[in-house]
Structures are given as C-alpha cells and as structure tokens.
Structure 1
Amino acid sequence: MQLETLLANIAQHSNLVDSYGATHLPIYNTATFDQKRQFPNNKNYDYSRTDNPTRNALEDIFAIAEEGAGCVCVNTGVSALALLFDTVLKTDDVILVERDCYGGTYRLLNILLEKNDIQTCYADFTNVTEVESVLQQNKIKLILCESPTNPSLKIVDLQAIAELSKKYNSLFAVDNSMATFAAQKPLVLGADFSLFSATKFISGHGSVVAGAIVAKSEYWAERLNYFSNANGRAQSPFDVFLVSLGLPTLVYRMKTQEQSAIQLSEFLNSLPEVLEVKFPGLPSHPQYELAKRQMEIIPAVLTITLSSAEKAEQLIRNTKLFGEKVSFGTSDSRLEIPSKMSHATYSDEDLKKIGLTHATVRISVGLENVNDLIADIQQALKVETIKCV
C-alpha cells in the first residue's frame, strides 16, 4: 500500500474498533474505562495514561508508515527524545551524537550529563571515518543523529551509520522530524529507532505540539510502552486528533513545499546580500546526490548566511509574509535566527563548530505562492535610507 493511500483514511487502516463506523479518528477523551461495558474479545482498556483507543490508532498508523514493530505517541518531540534516553540509557553510558543537532537535544544531553553521568561524544556524521574512530575508542550505547540536520542541513548516510552501529554493537536512533516518513524511512535503512516531532510537517498546521517514537523490534517497542506509561509521557486524545488532521495531506503538502523551496533557494542564490544558501535540493549542496537517493522528498527548510548580522535582522524585521517563529514544517512560511532562538543554548564557540553565525537565518517554506514569498524578501532586503533633517 502506498503511503498516500494509508494516510487518506487512517481510521480504516488502524486497528481502531468503533461501533459507529467513524471515518476519522473519534476522540476518546476519557480518563478511565468501564470494564463491564467494553466489547468482548477486544483490547481491554482501563486508564488513558496506559492505553487509549484514539492514541493507539495513531500509533498503529505511525508504525505502519515507518515499517516498525510498534510506536509510542508522546506530548512533544523532546519527550520522544527523553523517552528514548529513559528507556535505553543508564548511568555512565556513552552516547554518540551528530555535532549539528537540534538545540533542545543539546540542552537535554547537557542535563543528562549533569544529573545522570551520561557521557556524550560528538562527531561529524557526514565523515564516516570520524564516526568509526569514535566507536573504536569508546563503548557507545546509543548513536543519534538527524538527517537533514537542523539547521545546517547536512545529509547523513543513514545506511552507512546503521552498518557501523551493528559492527560495534550500538543502538542507532534517527530524529526524523524534518524528513518524516513521507521522505525517508530510517528503520528500513537499518536504524533501531525513528523518532520525530509531529509538531512540524506531520501535523502541518502549527496547532499542536506532539512527538512519537517507532521501534524496529518488538522488544524495544514493548520497553518504550512500559517507560511511557511509567513516567506519564502519553499524548492526550485531543492532541492526537489534531495531529491526525494533517496526515491525509502530508505527502502533497511536502511535495508542493519542496518545489517552492527550490525556486526560493535559486532566487536567494542570486542576491548579493546572501553569501551562502544551504538546501539539499540544490545541486550545489555537498550531499545532493545522497539526498536524492535517500529521500523521496526534500523537506522545505533552507539556511542562508547574509553579509552581516545587521542584514539578517533587517530581513527578519521587514518581511511581511514570514513570521519570526521557532519550529518549521507548517503551512505558513517562517524565519528565525538560530543563534537567538532554536539554538540559543549554544555558545559562540559551539555555533562556529556547526557552521552558524549571527548572520545565519533558517527559512521554513510554507504553502504560500512562491512568487509572493520572493517579492516579500526582495522588498525586505532593500537598502534602508536615513533621512537627514
């Protein structure tokens, strides 16, 4: 079954049993369930923190879409990361992470180091030799990366890293927030876990924060469910419903946004104020061929470096169609300076290591007409004149 078909009618394709034949996920917004009134021979529900029909239906769909053994839906993308760490790691374990990681991941890793003595090693995952060198010198329990990375938009060869993880007996997890299962399937490429923030492309509307994690094996799927129930990370039924509304249009939204991002990137490349454009959908990107081979769709997120921090601020201040907002992947276009927002926890030294400056702007391309977006950036970057009195 093609992904578009699966997502077009998620109530039908999940294991949800609804006596009224709902064509979309009904919201079971209840804390508890009456044991005496449930259908015979069906899953027995007792408490929504443990299991809920609405949430379980979305978990079914995500597990099918990612080709995994099971899924847990949680209340945020960071919760999915925290659940992974709670389930897999113990004191004194060592984790290997792509140097260019989401600011929230970086912050969480620092907390783990401080509270639980979880050690973190960093490497450039586009350099497989460097990754193997770290694996040779350390007993790594978990390898974690994003691809594309956020915000430098590097593409990691997931199959190559997966092979190394097996060679050195490490677990491998991929943060699939930007690509989503519409673009790539990390579990098929050899990863043990695929996790994502459903806040972004998957829900697409910017109306809910949500996360999920899918495990390749039954063993880890059961462990994730156990820890999710134990520490109360489960997503609420209403938030599950909000996420589900974006699924039927996911593939079509991302394909439309990809085309707009290509056009916008080509335009930005022509501007003298823009020193660099990073977008994996451009042939100039160093991992362009890998991106085309590994992903069905290139996510509509690009990063530009302007001639100065002042120019970056001017772009942010003067655009009318681009909101200054964190996150990405929604139907509205948005800008942010990562050093001030999503990566504000990074020091200047750490920003430099991943190729960011205070003149770097991340752009998430929405569903507006791309010509309107181009015109908006044109007017925003006009030289401002100072009136003399």
Structure 2
Amino acid sequence: MSELAGFNTRAIHAGQEPDPATGAVIPPLHLTTTYKQDGVGGLRGGYEYSRSGNPTRAALQEQLAALEQGTTALTFASGLAAEDTLLRTLCRPGDEIVLGGDAYGGTFRLISRVLEPWGVGYRPIDLGDLDAVREAVAPETTRVVWCETPTNPLLNIADIAALAQIARESGTVLVVDNTFASPYLQRPLTLGADVVVHSTTKYLGGHSDVVGGALVTSDAHWAERLTYHQNAMGAVNGPFDAWLLMRGIKTLGVRMDRHCANAARIAEFLLDHPAVASVLYPGLPDHPGHEIAARQMSGFGGMLSFRLRDGEEAALRVCERTRLFTLAESLGGVESLIEHPGRMTHASAAGSPLEVPADLVRLSVGIEDVEDLLADLDRALS
C-alpha cells in the first residue's frame, strides 16, 4: 500500500490483500495455535506458534502501521498490556518517567502501583508548561516522557512537536497515547514522537465489542526490542479479536467525522446551559489548547467533559438520568456513553496529584442523531 494513498484507502486496503487461495476479499480468520513445518525449522511464511505470530494479527499490524505512518505496529490483548510491555522494554530500576499531570487512571495505576515498587519512579508534570518539562527531564535518569493529547478526562492538549524536541535534546523517549484522537485525527510519529500507544478497544474497534492495544514506531531499535518482548511476555491479542479490529478500522474515518460533528454541537449546547460551570473541549475557541490542537489535529474528536455548578451530587444525578447516553466506562464506540471519572475510570488517582474534580462528567459522544442526544442531555440537566 502506497504511503501516498489517502487515509480511508489505507484503512480499507493496508494489510487486507484478498486470500491467495480462494480470492476471499476479507482476510481469513486463522484460528490456530500452531503450524505444520515442512521439515524441522522449515516454516511456511515464518509461522510456528500463534503467540509468536499469526497471519490475522499480522494483517492487523500492517494496517495499523500504515494508518500511523510508522514502520512497525504490534498488537496486544489490551491497551494496558501494550503499555506494560513498552514500559518494561524502555525502563530499568532507577529510571524515571515524566508523566502528564492528568494521565489516564489505568496508566497511572500501572506506573504508580506496579512499576514504582519495582524501582521505576515517576514525576507528574503539566505537559503544557514546556519550561517545567525541560526542568523535570533529567538526562541521567529520565527514560520516558509519557504524553496523552487530548488527555483523559480533562481534554488538555500538549504540543507533540515541542515535546519531541525536548526528548531528543535530553536523550529520552517520547511516548504518545493517541487513543482519544485516533490516527484519523492525529499522527504523532510524523510530529517527532518515538512510540505511539493505542487502546484499540476504543475508536479503532469502534463497536464496544473487542478489547485490545497497540504500539506503533518507526524506530528500528525499539521495533526490534518490542517485537522480541511482545513474544517473550506473551500478552498478545487472539486472531478473532484482531479480525474484529480490522473490520472496525475500515470505517474509522467516516465514524470519526460523525463523532467530531456531534461532539462540537453538544459542546456548544453545554456551554450555554445554566447548570454547567465549564466545558472542556479543544474545539472551543477559548480552550487553552485550541490553537495547538488545530495545528496538530485534523479535527477535535468525540470526547468532552463538563463541570456542574452544583458540585459532585449534581454530576452524579446527571450520570444517572440520561437514557441515550449509557452510564458505562470506556469510550469510542458508536453509542454514546456518560461517566463520572472521579468514581469510575479515574478512581485509582484519588488522593494523588492526578485526582480529577468531583464535579466532572465525561461524555463519549457517539454517532446517533445529534438532536436526540441534545434532548437527552437537556432532560438530564433540567
């Protein structure tokens, strides 16, 4: 697949060659654990055992690499499995991670409660303050700058190109969690990031029916190490999960267009609602990261958060009253979801520097008819 092909063309065709045996347009689902060898060590296509490699997973990895404009993509059983493999590849006891000050709660839990007892430290920093980032990065100990943009759930924006320059100057690795934006809206590798992380459960899968994660890079050194550790650690996704993800990715572009359009309408509605204290959405002109987002993204995404004037109890009531917005964790599916981050997705950050406001509500805006979504929110807020 040519790198010059458009995004939607790559999403539909990269890694998706018709089956050479039958001509089937959709790549086959290879539900096998092992492969017949033509003599000892005589592997057909390099396959010997499905933890090490599976043709369905290989097709998905080629598809993801094409979308992120990287050279190597690796897929895993979950986003956190991908993060764990990456961080245990990059870090050793005594190393430190510079972590965005409002990172995803699961990432914070992995770093603070799994890696920190192993000897890997972390330092939460506002990644929008580039001087603070430069001061925090210590070339002798900082191994990773971990960036989400937009962030979960506060929708803050970080300047990927500026962070990449800081990382290069200090010899650290810039990792960008691109889950919220998806490669349709943002491609961090082209802005200087070393590795991109995805929870493929979210927008890439898009239908709330498959859990997965991915790493994408163009760095040959880290690609080799990560490929080795993908096999050695073994947290790979199964072939049926890979097949579901390939199916979802084919419509990523058209879905994201609708997610973005619906979220923009809802952000404008909430901005004028008397029960709402503030709206966190990078598409709003007064959002502090709006100009950076407009520069490095091709759209502002389907995620937004808002704070209630009457505090936590009001936020909880709104979460309980919606009908179309389903009260549930996760995000990025075709259906709209609502949640209370402080008590749900980010409960693990309570009492830490990454604690989120108690009056905050997060929306994953789906692709339903927007007038129905607006009516649902209006009822819940009344």
TM-score norm. by structure 2 comes to 0.95
Does residue 1:318 correspond to 2:321, yes or no? yes
Which secondary structure state, in structure 1, belongs to the residue aligned with residue 250 of structure 2? helix
Residue 333 of structure 1: aligned partner: 336
Residue 363 of structure 1: aligned partner: 363
2:10 corresponds, among 6, 12, 35, to 6
Of the structure 1 ranges 22-31 and 199-208, higher mean CA displacement relative to structure 2 is found in 22-31
2:147 corresponds, among 137, 145, 148, to 145
Alignment of 1:239-318 (within 5 A): 239-307=241-309, 308-318=311-321
Does residue 1:376 correspond to 2:366, yes or no? no
Letter in 1 for 2:327: E
Deviation per CA, 1:150-187, whole angstroms, max 9, x where unpaired?
11111100000000000001011111111111111111
8 Å Cα contact 1:9-1:24 kept in structure 2: no
Which secondary structure state, in structure 2, belongs to the residue aligned with residue 188 of structure 1? helix
Residue 387 of structure 1: aligned partner: none
Q: Matches of 2:363 and 2:237 in 1, distance apart? A: 29
Q: Matches of 1:111 and 1:273 in 2, distance apart? A: 37
The alpha-carbon deviation at position 42 of structure 1 amounts to 5.9
8 Å Cα contact 2:326-2:338 kept in structure 1: yes
The alpha-carbon deviation at position 89 of structure 1 amounts to 1.0
Q: Matches of 1:128 and 1:351 in 2, distance apart? A: 18
Deviation per CA, 1:99-143, whole angstroms, max 9, x where unpaired?
110000000001244431101111100010100011158631111
Alignment of 1:159-308 (within 5 A): 159-307=161-309, 308=311
Letter in 2 for 1:357: P
Q: Matches of 1:96 and 1:365 in 2, distance apart? A: 30
1:105 corresponds, among 76, 98, 107, to 107
Which secondary structure state, in structure 2, belongs to the residue aligned with residue 87 of structure 1? helix
Of the structure 1 ranges 359-368 and 41-50, higher mean CA displacement relative to structure 2 is found in 41-50
What is the alpha-carbon root mean square deviation over aligned residues? 1.8
8 Å Cα contact 1:11-1:24 kept in structure 2: no
Unaligned stretches of 5+ residues in structure 1: 383-389
Letter in 2 for 1:309: E
The alpha-carbon deviation at position 67 of structure 1 amounts to 1.6
Letter in 1 for 2:81: S
Does residue 1:91 correspond to 2:93, yes or no? yes
Letter in 1 for 2:119: D
Q: Matches of 2:139 and 2:73 in 1, distance apart? A: 33
The alpha-carbon deviation at position 87 of structure 1 amounts to 1.1
The alpha-carbon deviation at position 336 of structure 1 amounts to 0.5
Identity of aligned residues (%): 36
8 Å Cα contact 2:139-2:172 kept in structure 1: no
8 Å Cα contact 2:94-2:141 kept in structure 1: no
8 Å Cα contact 2:16-2:63 kept in structure 1: no
Letter in 2 for 1:161: L
Cα separation, partners in 2 of 1:347 and 1:137, compared to 1, 3 Å: farther
Letter in 1 for 2:357: T
Residue 136 of structure 2: aligned partner: 134
Cα separation, partners in 2 of 1:260 and 1:251, compared to 1, 3 Å: same
The alpha-carbon deviation at position 12 of structure 1 amounts to 3.7
8 Å Cα contact 2:325-2:337 kept in structure 1: yes
Q: Matches of 1:66 and 1:376 in 2, distance apart? A: 35
Q: Matches of 1:81 and 1:12 in 2, distance apart? A: 26
Cα separation, partners in 2 of 1:146 and 1:55, compared to 1, 3 Å: same
Cα separation, partners in 2 of 1:18 and 1:115, compared to 1, 3 Å: farther
Q: Matches of 2:164 and 2:74 in 1, distance apart? A: 22
The alpha-carbon deviation at position 22 of structure 1 amounts to 2.4
Alignment of 1:12-23 (within 5 A): 12=16, 18-23=20-25
The alpha-carbon deviation at position 297 of structure 1 amounts to 2.0
8 Å Cα contact 1:75-1:235 kept in structure 2: yes
The alpha-carbon deviation at position 69 of structure 1 amounts to 2.0
8 Å Cα contact 2:271-2:278 kept in structure 1: yes
Unaligned stretches of 5+ residues in structure 2: none
Of the structure 1 ranges 60-69 and 343-352, higher mean CA displacement relative to structure 2 is found in 343-352
Alignment of 1:40-119 (within 5 A): 43-119=45-121
Cα separation, partners in 2 of 1:114 and 1:8, compared to 1, 3 Å: closer
Q: Matches of 1:67 and 1:42 in 2, distance apart? A: 28
Residue 386 of structure 1: aligned partner: none
